[in-house]
Structure 1
C-alpha cells in the first residue's frame, strides 16, 4: 500500500519554508532536496525543485514549480498545542515576517501556508455536556484571532459577558 502525504506547490520558496519549519516545529527535518533538471517550466536549472521533509514526523513534499497554482486556506496544517504558552509561541513564530492572522486560530505564514494553531483545551471545552456553555464558548471563539484558553473557559462557565 502506498503512503498518503501532503504535497504543497510553492512558486519558489519551498526550501525556505521547509528550513523554517525544521527550525520551528519539533520533530521536523528535511530529508532530501532535488534540484531542477533542465527544461522544468518556471524553475531555473539547478534551483531547488523538490524538498522532502518530515513535518512533525509526517512525510511531506514541497515543490517549487512557479506561479501556476497558489496555496490557499482550503488546505491548512492543524497544529495542536499544549496550552496557551505553546499557542502564543507558535502563533508568533508562524505569523512573523509577513504572515497574516485570521479568525478562530487561523493564519497564513510568510510562505502562504495556512495553519490552525489550536490549544488542546478547545476540543475539551467543545465536547463538554453543557450545551449553553459550549454555545457561549463558540461565540467567544468566533470573536478571536489567536485562541485564548482563559477566555474560552470564562465564556463556557458564563463568567464572560456575551458579545
Structure 2
C-alpha cells in the first residue's frame, strides 16, 4: 500500500523546528531523526539530517540540507481548531520570531507558512444563507488572527 507524506526542506535547525511543532500539536510525534551517512550534493556524509514525524493525523518528512528554495505560500500547514483558546495558543507560539498576515496566516521563525483556522469558519462559510456567508467572509478578510466571536457576530448580522 502506498503512503503519502508532506516533505519540508529546512536550511538549518530542522530538529528544533520538528521538536517545536510536535510539542504544539496534540497526538504528534517524532518517529526518527538520522544523519545521511553518504556524501550528497548538499554536503559530506553526516552533514545532511532527515526526520520522520507526524503532526496530529498527518505524516511528514523533513530534511536539513542547506539553502535551496525558501518556504512560501504555495505550501502551508492548516490547523483547524475547535476553540479560541486553541487558536490563541498556537498563534502565539508559532508567531514568535515570525510574522503574521491577514486571514489567519502566519510564517514561523523557520519560514513555514501556517493557517490557524477555527472549525466554525468552514461551517459558517458553508451556511446555505448566502447573505450570512458573505458577512462572515467579509469579517474573515478583515482579520489577522481569527476571532470566533467576531465571526459569529458577523453571521448574526
Deviation at 1:44, TM superposition (A): 5.5
* Partner Cα separation in structure 2 for residue 80 and residue 73 of structure 1: 17
Q: Match of 1:135, SS?
A: helix
Partner residue in 2 for 1:94: 94
Q: Name the stretch that deviates more: 32-41 or 117-126.
A: 32-41
In the TM superposition, structure 1's runs of 4+ consecutive aligned residues that sit over 3 Å from their partners are 41-45
* Partner Cα separation in structure 2 for residue 64 and residue 27 of structure 1: 24
* Partner Cα separation in structure 2 for residue 134 and residue 119 of structure 1: 15
Q: Match of 1:61, SS?
A: strand
Partner residue in 1 for 2:11: 11
Taking a change above 3 Å as real, the CA distance of residues 21 and 43 of structure 1, as seen in their structure-2 partners, is farther
Deviation at 1:3, TM superposition (A): 0.5
Partner residue in 2 for 1:49: 49
Deviation at 1:41, TM superposition (A): 3.2
* Partner Cα separation in structure 2 for residue 6 and residue 38 of structure 1: 23
TM value normalised by structure 2:
0.93
Aligned length: 157
Please give the residue correspondences for 1:1-163 in structure 2 after superposition, counting only pairs within 5 Å: 1-43=1-43, 45-47=45-47, 49-96=49-96, 98-158=97-157
* Partner Cα separation in structure 2 for residue 33 and residue 119 of structure 1: 32
Q: Deviations over 1:92-138 (max 9, x none)?
A: 11111x11111111111111111110111101111112211111111
Q: Match of 2:151, SS?
A: helix
Taking a change above 3 Å as real, the CA distance of residues 41 and 12 of structure 1, as seen in their structure-2 partners, is farther
Q: Deviations over 1:26-70 (max 9, x none)?
A: 111111111132522334643451011122132210011211222
